Structure 1
Amino acid sequence: MDQITAMRVFARVVEAGSFTRAADQLQMPKPSVTKLVQRLEARLKVKLLQRTTRRVTVTPEGAAYYQRTARVLAELEEIESDLTQERTNPRGCVRVDVGSVVANLILMPRLPAFYKRYPQVQIALGVSDRPVHLVGEAVDCVIRGGAMTDQSLVARRIAQMAFTTVASPAYLAQHGTPANPQELLDGRHAMANYFSAASGRIVPAVYVRGDQRFEIAAQGPISVNESTAHLNAALTGLGLVQTFGPIVQPHIDTGALVEVLADWAPPPMPFHVAYPANRHVSAKLRVFVDWVVEVFKPYNAGRAAAASMALPRGTT
């Protein structure tokens, strides 16, 4: 038995939580995965995994074995990288998960420049606003807005994204322009809301000026859990939308959207690129993370600078 291969297969089963998912990620037949783990258990004379019809759980002995072998496998990967040209010529596929608006309007317009710099790195871009389990779904990194509280991840802050409230000219012609967030609470205006894909709850739109603060979570005519649809709700006149300023700036420039409540600025949202803390950072992942930091750098320059610098002019 190839012990290193067996260790790698066992680690993937633990991370994926399933023999089937591990086999898919390793591109191996499921019986081969099962047999390698069984042989490893026989060699060690200990039960590493508890198998039921629904799931696989790690025994205390298996958890201890995984923690120690994960470090060994990471060290082996680093040694192999040092002995190849991967560090100076990274190659392979990086699996990334990112929200739809950030993917379409920020990353994808700049990917040709990335490929020119790193022609042998491929990006598998998972586009969604739902939470993902990086290890279980074999995702290398995520780009997300908001506070990062998961201690199993290394989170690198890449931006502070300012918010802007917008509406279509048609909506404002029919309903007027709000002068104060109180009008949203009074029902004189409709909010097109964004709700969390994880909790199903509406994410309040926050408005701050001095010591005044409003949180608007009233149910409007539509609520969505995906950022591109949220933007389209504003473009189609379904109500006021509070979203990231650089995302809507091109539409403000063309007149498709109008900014309102500009003097009620909520706190900006931090953005992070995050990856598992216990996983070796490969050369391909390292260059991608460094590139993401470059791409998002303009968003740290303040609201006006980010709006003018961050998105390619004419992006829609």
Structure 2
Amino acid sequence: MDKIRALRYFKRVVELSSFTAVAEELHVPASSISRRVKDLEHSLGVELLQRSTRQVKVTELGKLYYSMVSKAIRQLEQADELVSQTFEAPSGLIRISCLPTYGEQHLTPLLEQFAEQYPNIVFDLSYNDDLSQLGKDPIDIAIRGGIVPDEHVIAKRLSDNEFTLVATPQFIDKLDYGLPLNKSAIESIATLQYRGPRGVIEWYILNDEHWEPLKLTPKVISNNGKALTAAALNHRGMFCVPSWSICNYLDTGELVQVPCEGKVSVSPGGDLGVFLLYERTKYQIPKIKLCVDFIYENLNGR
């Protein structure tokens, strides 16, 4: 039995809770993955997974075994990459997860430049807001927005992630409220709200040095920043958004900041930023180090 391969299959089955999902990810028949995991269980003399037609559950022994082998597998993979690339031109796969709008505006064109210098690098890009965990999910580099990440990873700040309340001049002109808007007025006006991995993102207003939650009147809710921007441009409502994501529309005057009596944000007092995240151990791999340094040097301060 190829135990290393069986261990890798077992690790991903635990993480995805599905033989089929692992098969699709690795382009291997699900029956082959199931057979190798079964062989692993037979060699250990224990049941690691409980199988049914609907789901895969990890046994208590399986959870213990996973916690011990997953770290070892990561270290083995990193050792393989480190040694294989020490005396060779960087090549192979780099998996990056990034904020959708930030990725489209900043990361995609930058990686095209990187690819010209290192044509043997292949990028696997995921543009989403998923709360992916480096070290557990198959991700080498992540770019996330919010407060300083509370993860056991290196976090380099690329830029501020300052939020601003915007709308079209036409929408503001039709408001029945005087400017600047107070808390009550904001709560009565149509808003466009973003839905993140944990639910609809709340807004807060700074009132007498205290952040107060806003009970909003949403007109559109979406997990897609482009859709919300389009709705704002169509005069559907107000949108609390990172300034960098709509700077072009602010420059043209298609969107303008909405005057308010207090600052409006999605984080009550948090130090918001855009962060480049990676694991310290993976930074030793030449291709990862090159990519991390390239991204930071070109996006720091943007």
Cα 1:186–1:126 change in 2 (3 A) is closer
Contact 2:183 2:214 in 1 (8 A): no
Report what 2:160 is aligned to.
160
Contact 1:49 1:58 in 2 (8 A): yes
> How far apart, in 2, do the equivalents of 1:279 and 1:178 lie?
51
Q: Give the residue type in structure 2 aligned to 1:44.
A: L
CA displacement, residues 116-165 of structure 1 (integer Å, 9 cap, x when unaligned): 343222223223445567788745454332347776x6362524311122
> How far apart, in 1, do the equivalents of 2:48 and 2:284 lie?
26
1:257 pairs with 2:216: no
1:184 pairs with 2:191: no
CA displacement, residues 23-78 of structure 1 (integer Å, 9 cap, x when unaligned): 22222111111111111222222222221222222223322332332233233223
Residue 243 of structure 1 deviates from its aligned partner by: 0.7
Residue 167 of structure 1 deviates from its aligned partner by: 1.6
CA displacement, residues 81-123 of structure 1 (integer Å, 9 cap, x when unaligned): 2332268633223333333221222222322222234322222
TM-score by length of 2: 0.80
Alignment of 1:276-287 (within 5 A): 283-287=286-290
Give the percent of matched residue pairs that are identical in Structure 1 and Structure 2.
27
Report what 1:293 is aligned to.
296
SS in structure 1 at match of 2:108: helix
Report what 1:227 is aligned to.
225
Alignment of 1:1-316 (within 5 A): 1-85=1-85, 89-129=89-129, 131=131, 138-147=138-147, 154=153, 156-158=155-157, 159-175=159-175, 178-182=179-183, 184-185=185-186, 187=188, 189-199=189-199, 201=200, 203-208=201-206, 211=209, 213-261=211-259, 264-265=262-263, 266=265, 267=269, 269-274=272-277, 283-298=286-301, 310=302
Cα 1:221–1:69 change in 2 (3 A) is closer
Q: State the superposition RMSD in angstroms.
A: 3.3
Contact 2:165 2:257 in 1 (8 A): yes
Contact 1:77 1:280 in 2 (8 A): no
Q: Give the residue type in structure 2 aligned to 1:224.
A: S
SS in structure 2 at match of 1:191: strand
SS in structure 2 at match of 1:261: coil
Cα 1:58–1:135 change in 2 (3 A) is farther
> How far apart, in 2, do the equivalents of 1:177 and 1:105 lie?
35
SS in structure 2 at match of 1:124: strand
Does 92-101 or 162-171 show the bigger shift? 92-101
SS in structure 2 at match of 1:28: coil
> How far apart, in 1, do the equivalents of 2:278 and 2:16 lie?
15
> How far apart, in 2, do the equivalents of 1:244 and 1:198 lie?
18
CA displacement, residues 3-34 of structure 1 (integer Å, 9 cap, x when unaligned): 22222222222222211112222221111111
Cα 1:279–1:22 change in 2 (3 A) is farther
Contact 2:97 2:127 in 1 (8 A): yes
In structure 2, the gaps of 5 or more residues are none
Residue 239 of structure 1 deviates from its aligned partner by: 1.9
Contact 1:165 1:243 in 2 (8 A): yes
CA displacement, residues 197-242 of structure 1 (integer Å, 9 cap, x when unaligned): 543x3x2333326525453341143232321122222222112222
Does 74-83 or 174-183 show the bigger shift? 174-183
Q: How many residues align?
A: 295
> How far apart, in 1, do the equivalents of 2:150 and 2:56 lie?
23
Does 234-243 or 72-81 show the bigger shift? 72-81
Q: Give the residue type in structure 2 aligned to 1:51.
A: R
CA displacement, residues 253-302 of structure 1 (integer Å, 9 cap, x when unaligned): 1121222327844455233345689989855444444444344421xxxx
Contact 2:145 2:273 in 1 (8 A): yes
Cα 1:37–1:213 change in 2 (3 A) is closer
